[in-house]
C-alpha cells in the first residue's frame, strides 16, 4: 500500500470550491496523504487564481512546496473534455504547481516567464500508472468520473510525484496560454485593487498620470506617498521578485467603493 512521507514541506491549495465542507475535506485529504501543513486560498475565478498563484510562489521563495490549483467549471468549452478541464503541472524553482488549464489561470505565469512548458495529464492514465507502480487498489474509473477532482485526484497525483514517481503526460508550450487582460484580479480587505499591470509596462514615474476607465489616476511609488483622500496607482506588494503589480489605492479609504471596481474589472 502507500508509504508515509517523511520529508516535510508545505502545500497551498488555490480553489474555487471553498465552502466550509469542501475546504475542510480538501485540506484534510492533502495534509493526510502528503503529511505536510496546508494553507488554503479561496478564489472565485481563473483570474483571481492566477494572481494568487504568483503571490504564493513569491512567498515560498526557494523553499520546497506544492501548489494545488483547481478552478475548472464543467460548463461551456469544458464540456468537450472527458470530465471537465484537463490538469497539468510545471516546476518553478523548488515548487511543483499542479493546476487546471482553464481561462487566465496561467496567464500571469506566462507574462512573468515562469516556465516555457506545462505537462498536461490525462486523469485515467495517471491513476492507472499510480495503481500499477504502487500495486494499489485505486478505483480508477470512479475517480476519473468524480465531480470533486480536487479531493479525489490531485492529492494522489501530487503524492506520487513528490515521492519520486514519474507522471505520464504531454508537454505543451506556454505559447497557447491566453495573455492576461489589463484588469483587476483581486480586491483586498482595504478596498485596494491589485492589477495585472507592471509599472515598467506603462513607463510610470512619480507625478505621471494615466487615464483609466475609472478616471485619470496619478502614479506614486508607494502608498505612503499618496496624499490623504487621494486615489492613485502605486507599485503594490503583490508580484514576484522585482516584478510588482500596480494597485489602485485610496489614502484613508477603500478605492473600490469610490471608483466602483471589483475583481475582474477591466482597466481601460
Residue 268 lies in a domain: no
Sign of CA dihedral 12, 17, 19, 24: negative
Contact 198, 243 (CB under 8 A): yes
For 18, counting Cβ atoms within 10 Å of its Cβ (0-12 exposed, 13-18 middle, 19+ buried), the class is middle
The domain boundary, picked from 126, 151, 176, lies at 176
Model confidence pLDDT, tens digit, residues 8-43 = 689 999 999 999 999 999 999 999 999 999 999 999
3-state secondary structure of 223: helix
Q: What pTM, to 2 d.p., does this model score? A: 0.92
Classify 137 as helix, strand or coil. coil
Number of domains comprising the chain: 2
CATH number at residue 252: 2.40.30.90
pLDDT at position 21, please? 98
If asked whether residues 23 and 144 sit together in one domain, one would say: yes
**169 and 73 within one domain:** yes
5 and 36 in contact (C-beta within 8 Å)? yes
Query: Where a domain ends, among 131, 156, 176?
Result: 176
Does residue 54 form part of some domain? yes
The residue segments making up the domain with residue 197 are: 184-259
Same structural domain, 217 and 108: no
Query: 121 with 230, same domain?
Result: no
Distance CA 235, CA 226 (A): 11
The pLDDT assigned to 72 comes to 85
Radius of gyration of the chain (CA): 20
Whether 264 maps to a domain, the answer reads: no
- Domain boundary, last residue among 145, 176, 207: 176
CATH for 80: 3.40.50.10790
Q: Are 40 and 159 part of one and the same domain?
A: yes
Residues 188 and 169 in one domain: no
pLDDT at 79: 44
Q: State the pLDDT at residue 231.
A: 98
Residues 33 and 17 in one domain: yes
Number of CB atoms found within 10 A of residue 96's CB: 21
Please list the rounded mean pLDDT of every run of 10 residues in the chain (268 residues). Answer: 63 97 98 95 98 98 96 61 83 97 96 97 92 83 88 95 95 94 98 96 92 96 96 97 97 98 98
Amino acid at each position: 500500500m502507500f508509504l508515509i512521507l517523511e520529508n516535510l514541506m508545505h502545500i497551498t491549495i488555490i480553489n474555487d470550491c471553498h465552502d466550509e465542507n469542501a475546504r475542510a475535506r480538501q485540506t484534510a485529504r492533502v495534509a493526510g496523504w502528503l503529511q505536510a501543513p496546508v494553507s488554503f486560498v479561496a478564489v472565485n475565478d481563473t483570474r483571481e487564481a492566477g494572481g494568487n498563484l504568483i503571490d504564493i510562489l513569491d512567498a515560498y521563495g526557494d523553499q520546497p512546496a506544492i501548489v494545488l490549483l483547481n478552478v475548472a467549471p464543467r460548463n461551456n468549452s469544458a464540456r468537450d473534455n472527458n470530465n471537465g478541464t484537463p490538469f497539468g503541472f510545471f516546476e518553478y524553482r523548488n515548487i511543483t504547481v499542479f493546476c487546471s488549464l482553464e481561462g487566465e489561470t496561467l496567464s500571469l505565469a506566462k507574462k512573468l516567464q515562469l516556465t516555457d512548458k506545462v505537462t498536461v495529464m490525462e486523469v485515467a492514465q495517471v491513476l492507472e500508472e499510480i495503481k500499477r507502480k504502487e500495486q494499489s487498489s485505486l478505483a480508477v474509473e470512479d475517480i476519473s468520473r468524480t465531480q470533486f477532482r480536487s479531493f479525489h485526484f490531485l492529492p494522489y497525483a501530487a503524492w506520487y510525484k513528490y515521492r519520486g514517481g514519474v507522471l505520464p503526460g504531454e508537454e505543451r508550450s506556454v505559447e497557447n496560454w491566453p495573455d492576461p487582460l489589463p484588469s483587476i484580479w483581486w480586491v483586498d480587505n482595504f478596498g485596494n485593487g491589485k492589477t495585472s499591470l507592471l509599472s515598467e509596462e506603462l513607463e510610470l514615474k512619480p507625478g505621471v498620470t494615466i487615464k483609466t476607465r475609472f478616471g485619470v489616476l496619478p502614479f506614486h511609488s508607494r502608498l505612503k506617498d499618496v496624499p490623504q483622500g487621494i486615489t492613485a496607482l502605486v507599485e503594490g506588494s503583490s508580484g514576484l521578485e522585482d516584478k510588482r503589480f500596480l494597485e489602485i489605492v485610496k489614502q484613508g479609504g477603500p478605492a473600490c467603493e469610490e471608483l466602483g471596481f471589483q475583481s475582474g474589472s477591466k482597466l481601460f
